[in-house]
Chains A and B, each alone.
Chain A
Amino acid sequence: MLSWLPEDVSTFGPKIDQLFYLIYYITGFTFVLVNVLLLAFLVLYRHRDGRRATYTHGNSTLEIIWTIVPALILVMLAFMSKGQWDAIKKNAPPADVLVQVTGKQFNWEIVYPGPDGKFGTPDDYQVDNDLHVPVNKVVRVLLHSKDVIHSFFLPNLRLKQDALPGREIVVWFEATKPGTYEIPCAELCGFGHSGMKGQLTVHDTAGYDAWLKERWPATTANAPAADVERG
């Protein structure tokens, strides 16, 4: 079933997918166990004339076992989840590229800080639904919303984060493979929610330099990547 996962092109994606697979095997095993037992009991203990059901009110040993075993498995999953969660959500690596994404009914407004690395200066570049990033670089996204709640979803990068009006939420990703990917909005945002999407273009190094040169012809190519060590 998990073969339906979209191709992963992010650095933290494989860890999410590993956990996904682990839970898949654990729950799959439990599902089979419970249903095989259920079917076996239904066949073995179906009504037959003259038979009488076993009179028992329970078995403390069994009940303790089937309390403790699931509890231990769930605690293990909780700790594994916490480790990955902190790595993705709390301990963001230093950023190479900075970009601001603002959800608005029904587009993603992208703002690049330009060669000076600062927002709100004349060399900013603003465009709807067109996000360009370099491969193998940490991209830091400052998420905003102008109206309702939107959700910035990159299926191929295993990234999803709601964008809230009145708040700046910082997320990051590092793409591992050049290509173009879709950026749907994943939170209901009104009648135009369906179809609200942008495009992420992950460039290889040469392609990214070319894109920068085309966008900011007057300055050196790698300037936007400089000095964004903030937060």
Chain B
Amino acid sequence: MSESAAIAPAAHAAHDAHEEVSFLRHYVFSTDHKMIGRQFLFLGLFMMIIGGLLALMVRWELAWPEEVVPFTQWIPEPYMSEGHMNPAFYNTLFTMHATIMVFFVVMPILVGCFGNFLIPLMIGTRDMAFPVLNMLSFWVGAVAGVLMLSGFFVPGGHAAAGWTSYAPLSSVPVYSGVEWGQNLWCISLLVLGVSSLMGSINYITTIINMRAPGMTLFRLPLTIWALFIVAILLLLALPVLSAALGLLLLDRMAGTTFFLPSGGGEPLLWQHLFWFFGHPEVYILILPAMGIASDILSVFARKPIFGYRAMAYSMISIAGLSWIVWGHHMFQSGMNPTLGSSFMISTMVIAVPSAIKTFNWLGTLWGGNIRFTVPMLNALAFVSMFVIGGLSGIYMAATPVDIFIHDTYFIVAHIHYVVFGGSIFGIFAAIYYWFPKMFGRMMNETLGKIHFWPTLIAFNCTFFPMHILGVGGHMRRIYNPMQYDFLHPLQPINVFITVSAVCLGLSQIPFAINFFWSLFAGKKATENPWNANTLEWTAPSPPPHGNFGALPTVYRGPYEYSSPEVTEDWLPQTRRLEGAVARAH
């Protein structure tokens, strides 16, 4: 297993000098990709608590409209009146729930944390191509987070035009009554865009230039493929969002009228720009989880991934097609219906690579020797939940059906099956799987299962019934469903969903306990606790500054599990087999 480690000490000595850095340089302004990855993880987990609490307030209001929301008496007027929610504040809550979850939880954890932590380790190099840029990327992102949270404390309240911030509601302050909240929302996302650009340039450069000897593109783990593709999407999509945010800010602060018809502007311009960014963004949120799930399924099924190249190509085609499907968010917007048909066809097409991936995951499990570890359970939940999220997308792609379900809870169910059922289960799988490498200790398996099962059940009880609400015509973003006669029969479902959502929130307590307890008192992790093939498992747990002793040499692809060439059921990428050097794969 560790032939390459035999020559470690000499090469390693050269890097020991880096270890003696000050506390500030080591834990705060670190240029080490692993520390930056951990920083992004803590940022994301902290924001997840805030985003989750906002969601619970939204849910409480929907189940028991205009009644007292528990634990909120301390929130002052005009947001809450002694625990009764003001409708404008309700709009702020769902706006900020989505904004925080998308931009400050899923992106920092999947792209920021795991991108940073895994890319150098999995391709076999010592750090990112631009370590200082990497540090800046985190700290600029942290500034964006502070700016975003500061919006809660300005007069007029925080942004309340939805995370999509459709103009002119977002662009003319009197329409929403929100002043600096919306401005800070724009500025924070502009700053965050700079952070993501710095990160994506770093990822792309590192993956192209710094792979270990023998690590060809088609020997990259699918996690790295996914992160590589995501970095390219970020690089190309974020400038469009930044441009749109710039125009929005000018409309709000400088009196321009880019989105206001009375001044020659066009409200749909915002939607085109936003969704031209927004749809690739959806895949930015899900592709890393797809890569992570692929890796974890293969490790714990003890089997090569089924159709490795098809998996890589399908991610590439999802990324390519993601640029020409944005109009499916706008079928009922007043966009030309003929254009709607074109977007409908491209959207149907993008479902094909997702189907390929699903069947290939099933193929990976077929004939395996499956170990139900906590990371595996979460990866399996990812597959199962992603299937529901993918299939429910077909209803919206079919334009006539979308007429009815657009802007209903059916859409809310769909995005949560993709982003929670997909991305968040992917995040949990990744944390349980790489925690030993990140922190040098194992997480507790029993607590992990106590976290997993209630989360899976409560997740489905929360989000599946939202499909039914949508079928019943329940609109999104309404504060009190009881204002509508036709929604009265659906109200018991709203109550059930809220109770489930509270359970879903409580189910995260075992995770928090497990995470912090394991951080300090978990069982010490060995170098390769899962008997996995990829390069990060040849480094110590946690890896020192510089990661590896001598840089590893790669002899094969990442998924050689149960290979007939060896007696063990794994075959690390670095292990050199005598007489088999010339093998192509």
| Residue numbers in B under 8 Å from A35 (CB-CB) | 384, 387
Cα-based distance from A188 to B176 in the complex (angstroms): 10
Q: Interface segment, A75-83, A115-123, A124-132, A213-221?
A: A75-83
Cα-based distance from A190 to B370 in the complex (angstroms): 51
| Residue numbers in A under 8 Å from B569 (CB-CB) | 52-53
Q: Interface segment, B14-22, B399-407, B521-529?
A: B399-407
Report B168-208 residues with CB < 8 Å from chain A CB.
168-169, 172, 175-177
* A169–B380 CB distance below 8 A: no
* A66–B359 CB distance below 8 A: yes
Q: Which residue of B lies closest to A197 (CB)?
A: B484
Cα-based distance from A2 to B467 in the complex (angstroms): 10
* A55–B562 CB distance below 8 A: yes
Interface string of A65-94 (1 = CB under 8 A from B): 011001100110110111011101110000
Contact of B368 among A53, A84, A88, A163 (CB under 8 A): A53
* B261–A167 CB distance below 8 A: yes
| Residue numbers in B under 8 Å from A189 (CB-CB) | 169
Known: A63-B360, A158-B404, A191-B177. A38 touches B472 (CB 8 A): no
Residue A160 CB within 8 A of the other chain: yes
* A46–B370 CB distance below 8 A: yes
Contact of A54 among B345, B367, B397 (CB under 8 A): B367
List residues of B whose CB falls within 8 A of some A CB: 86-88, 90-91, 160-162, 166, 168-169, 172, 175-177, 260-262, 266-268, 301-308, 310, 332-334, 337-338, 340-341, 344-345, 348-349, 351-352, 355-356, 358-360, 362-363, 365-372, 380, 383-384, 387-388, 391-392, 394-395, 397-401, 403-404, 406-408, 467-468, 471-473, 475-480, 483-486, 490, 559, 561-564, 569
| Residue numbers in B under 8 Å from A23 (CB-CB) | 394-395, 398, 401
Q: Which residue of B lies closest to A168 (CB)?
A: B334
* A160–B404 CB distance below 8 A: yes
| Residue numbers in A under 8 Å from B340 (CB-CB) | 85, 89
Interface string of A183-225 (1 = CB under 8 A from B): 0111111111111010000000000000000000000000000
* A45–B91 CB distance below 8 A: no
* B267–A149 CB distance below 8 A: yes
| Residue numbers in A under 8 Å from B368 (CB-CB) | 41, 45, 53-54
List residues of A whose CB falls within 8 A of some B CB: 1-2, 4-6, 15-16, 19-20, 23, 26-27, 30-31, 34-35, 37-38, 41-42, 45-48, 51-59, 62-63, 66-67, 70-71, 74-75, 77-78, 80-82, 84-86, 88-90, 105, 147-149, 151, 153, 155-156, 158-167, 169, 181-182, 184-195, 197
* A167–B348 CB distance below 8 A: no
* B473–A155 CB distance below 8 A: yes
Known: A67-B352, A70-B355. A190 touches B176 (CB 8 A): yes
* A161–B334 CB distance below 8 A: yes
Contact of A45 among B162, B168, B366 (CB under 8 A): B366
Q: Which residue of A lies closest to B94 (CB)?
A: A188
Cα-based distance from A159 to B351 in the complex (angstroms): 26
A224 to chain B, nearest CB (A): 26
* A47–B307 CB distance below 8 A: no
Cα-based distance from A47 to B470 in the complex (angstroms): 41
| Residue numbers in A under 8 Å from B473 (CB-CB) | 5-6, 153, 155
Known: A46-B372, A67-B352. A166 touches B360 (CB 8 A): no
A156 to chain B, nearest CB (A): 8
Given A62-B359, A81-B397, A82-B399; 8 other pairs, CB 8 A cutoff:
A5-B473, A47-B369, A47-B370, A48-B369, A66-B356, A82-B345, A182-B484, A195-B479
* B175–A56 CB distance below 8 A: no
Known: A57-B306, A70-B351, A74-B352. A6 touches B400 (CB 8 A): no
Cα-based distance from A167 to B260 in the complex (angstroms): 11
| Residue numbers in B under 8 Å from A191 (CB-CB) | 86-88, 91, 160, 176-177
Cα-based distance from A149 to B477 in the complex (angstroms): 14
* B561–A53 CB distance below 8 A: yes
Q: Which residue of B lies closest to A42 (CB)?
A: B370
Cα-based distance from A31 to B130 in the complex (angstroms): 45
* A165–B483 CB distance below 8 A: no
| Residue numbers in A under 8 Å from B345 (CB-CB) | 78, 82
* A81–B398 CB distance below 8 A: yes
* B477–A188 CB distance below 8 A: yes
* A148–B169 CB distance below 8 A: yes
A25 to chain B, nearest CB (A): 12
Cα-based distance from A151 to B404 in the complex (angstroms): 12
| Residue numbers in B under 8 Å from A75 (CB-CB) | 348
| Residue numbers in B under 8 Å from A47 (CB-CB) | 302, 369-372
Report 12 cross-chain contacts, Cβ distance below 8 Å, ordered by A residue. A6-B486, A19-B398, A23-B398, A35-B384, A42-B380, A54-B303, A74-B351, A81-B399, A149-B169, A165-B262, A191-B87, A191-B160
A68 to chain B, nearest CB (A): 9
Q: Which residue of A lies closest to B469 (CB)?
A: A4
* A66–B87 CB distance below 8 A: no
* B400–A38 CB distance below 8 A: no
Q: Which residue of B lies closest to A57 (CB)?
A: B304
Q: Which 10 A-B pairs have the closest CB atoms?
A: A166-B261, A54-B367, A194-B479, A155-B473, A191-B88, A89-B337, A58-B307, A27-B391, A194-B478, A84-B400
* B369–A59 CB distance below 8 A: no
Contact of B175 among A16, A105, A186 (CB under 8 A): A105
* A85–B399 CB distance below 8 A: yes
